Amino acid sequence: MFHIIPGTKSEMLDAEYWIEKIPDRDHLIMMQDDIIKFNQKIVEKCDSVYDLRSYRDSFTYDELLSLIKEYKLPEKEMYFGNGEVVKSDFYHHIADNLNITEIKEVNPVQYGITIRKTSIRSFPTEIAVYSRKGDIEFDRFQETSCQAIEPVIVLHESKDKKWYFVQMYNYKGWAKVTDIAIAKNKEEVFDYLDTDDFIVVTGNRVRTQSNPYDDDVSEIQLDMGTRVPLEKDMPDTIGNQSTYGNYVVKLPSRDDKGNLVFKDGLISMKEDVHQGYVPYTRANILNQAFKLIGDRYGWGDSFNGRDCSSLIMHIYKTFGFRLPRNADEQERCPGIVHQFSDDLSLIDRIEAFKGIKPGAALYMPGHAMMFVGIDGGVPYIIHDFTGYAERNGDKYDFIPVNEVMVTSSLLITADGKMFLERIIKSVQFGM
């Protein structure tokens, strides 16, 4: 037996339970060409999303300084993981490591590729800082993760030369130098990435085959939505292993100077991957979402997990979508939108879901969810969330969950309101 959240039955954790309820489950919502055009609309509409192919060539001193300074050092009392109060000398060290004195009047950008999944941090440090003593769930310097094999623009280097300030397609911040290979130019990056021969990771996580001869391509973790170019010239063996039964993938790596080189690796054909993007259907959206049931919640993708909006982003990445990172930005994406007004009754809110398709993203202040269907007259959602509340007399007790789970939208949030009452918008991504 295992613990089930109130309102959730064990059979609800199976995607097929919900897919069978969808009449047009296998209807192709958009073709890949349309998704490409949709991504361009996102770039035009959302300030946080970029087409790195057309990114600017340089920044002035003031422009680059402004980008770096968007992250503000905390003014309130903060704590390290061991419970000690963060002192001002720590912040002085971080400010010094920003390497502001080395910003030039004109700062040319460099292109690079992530060779493995890496964290994007507010500041060039691995040290975590927390708002509350003893609460290690929310590292306030952790912004997000950047998957392996992502193009990045390198804008600046830290004083200790261990961090790059980078722009990925939908976020910017500090990433470890050792996780990024620097390309000769933009063409080297996109000639590699813009191939028609690729696989997409459709499982929660897959790894390349172990290679005892080359650590650079051995057991590399690739998360859901990662697009991996295939090697066109297939060798018979890699790392003294036959390539038979494997996809031969072309992976970015760093030479001894940190420059981009390419190496071949292997991914088993039995892994949960798909040649090309997954067809964009309602059934496939839910199939992808339900592969993540039980996965650990991680603020800013910490603990090798995801948070609420990252879950939505990575599911939709398997279809070729390049969504914004954060919930408040995702909800501004183009698509079929339903707005929930504050004065809407509970009955009217439930009724509204009759016009919303399963797989649509749902948003409330500070949280993103996905609609999976209606059961017993109640809308149900799948989401990566921290917990819910149970009434205890005249107050509410918070029940931690910290994972991806299917729940009733009538479940109570920490402030005593139902999730359904707090939903402000649904977005069905598409044209």
Task: Name the segment(s) of the chain with CATH classification 3.90.1720.10.
Answer: 10-30+280-428
Which 3 state secondary structure label does DSSP give 387?
A: strand
Q: What is the pLDDT of residues 289-319, one digit of tens each?
A: 999 999 999 999 999 999 999 999 999 999 9
What confidence score (pLDDT) does residue 3 get?
Answer: 65
Residues 103-109, mean pLDDT to the nearest whole number: 98
Fold of the 10-30+280-428 domain: endopeptidase fold (from Nostoc punctiforme) (3.90.1720)
> Model-level pTM?
0.96
Neighbours of 6 (CB within 10 A): 12
Q: Which CATH architecture has domain 195-275?
A: Roll (2.30)
What confidence score (pLDDT) does residue 107 get?
Answer: 98
CB neighbour burial string for 366-400, b if at least 16 within 10 angstroms, e if fewer: ebbbbbbbbbeeebbbbbbbbbbbeeeeeebeebe
In angstroms, the Cα distances linking 253 to 125, 142, 182, 341 are 23, 25, 9, 50
Q: For the chain, how many residues are written?
A: 431
Q: What is the pLDDT of residues 32-65, one digit of tens each?
A: 999 999 999 999 999 999 999 999 999 999 999 9
pLDDT beyond 80 at 240: yes
Q: What is the pLDDT of residues 314-341, one digit of tens each?
A: 999 999 999 999 999 999 999 999 999 9
pLDDT beyond 60 at 2: no
* DSSP secondary structure of 106-163: EEE-EEEEESS-EEEESSS-----BSSTT--S--TTEEEEE-TT-EEEEEEE-TTSSE
Which residue in this structure is represented by tokens 């290979």?
Answer: 181
What gap in Å lies between CA 205 and CA 181, rounded to an integer? 22
Mean pLDDT over the full length of the chain: 97
pLDDT band for position 1 (50/70/90)? Answer: very low
Task: Name the segment(s) of the chain with CATH classification 2.30.30.
Answer: 195-275
Per DSSP (E only), the strands in 198-350 are 198-201, 205-207, 221-223, 227-229, 237-238, 241-242, 246-254, 260-268, 273-275, 336-339
What confidence score (pLDDT) does residue 234 get?
Answer: 86
What confidence score (pLDDT) does residue 60 get?
Answer: 98
What confidence score (pLDDT) does residue 43 get?
Answer: 97
Q: What is the pLDDT of residues 196-232, one digit of tens each?
A: 999 999 999 999 999 999 999 999 999 999 999 999 9
What gap in Å lies between CA 100 and CA 71, rounded to an integer? 14
What confidence score (pLDDT) does residue 394 get?
Answer: 87
The amino acid present at 196, given as its one-letter code, is: D
Residues 120-146, mean pLDDT to the nearest whole number: 97
What confidence score (pLDDT) does residue 430 get?
Answer: 86
Q: What is the pLDDT of residues 360-416, one digit of tens each?
A: 999 999 999 999 999 999 999 999 999 999 999 889 999 999 999 999 999 999 999
What confidence score (pLDDT) does residue 186 get?
Answer: 97
Quick one: DSSP state of residue 40? H
Q: What is the pLDDT of residues 150-165, one digit of tens each?
A: 999 999 999 999 999 9
Radius of gyration (C-alpha) of the chain in whole angstroms: 22
pLDDT band for position 71 (50/70/90)? Answer: very high
